[in-house]
Amino acid sequence: WSLGDFFIGDTKELMDNEKLVQQFGDALKYFWEIRVKDLFPEREIIVELGNDLMGEIGLCITMYEATS
């Protein structure tokens, strides 16, 4: 999921602020990790924050289950 897709309307100034977008991504990652541990305590769910993940553009967040 591209974090830029979260913002609607004229957000060019906001999206140009890399520090703010990174902080938003860090907060999402933190809360997603807490939530998936609560929902699926027996599973190893990975929450990943990175650039251009899985064909998305810019800073992205994704989650998946680790395989053994």
What average pLDDT does range 54-64 have in this prediction? 86
The pLDDT of residue 56: 79
In this structure, what token pair is assigned to residue 66? 């680790």
What average pLDDT does range 36-40 have in this prediction? 96
d(CA 21, CA 12): 12
Does the structure show a pLDDT above 90 at 63?
Answer: yes
pLDDT band for 33, please (50, 70, 90 cuts).
very high
User: How many percent of the chain have pLDDT more than 70?
Assistant: 78
d(CA 52, CA 41): 29
Of 52, 59, 55, which Cα lies nearest the Cα of 28?
59
Quickly tell me which residue has 């609560």 as its tokens.
38
Residue pair 49/60 in contact (Cβ under 8 Å)? The answer is yes
The pLDDT of residue 18: 78
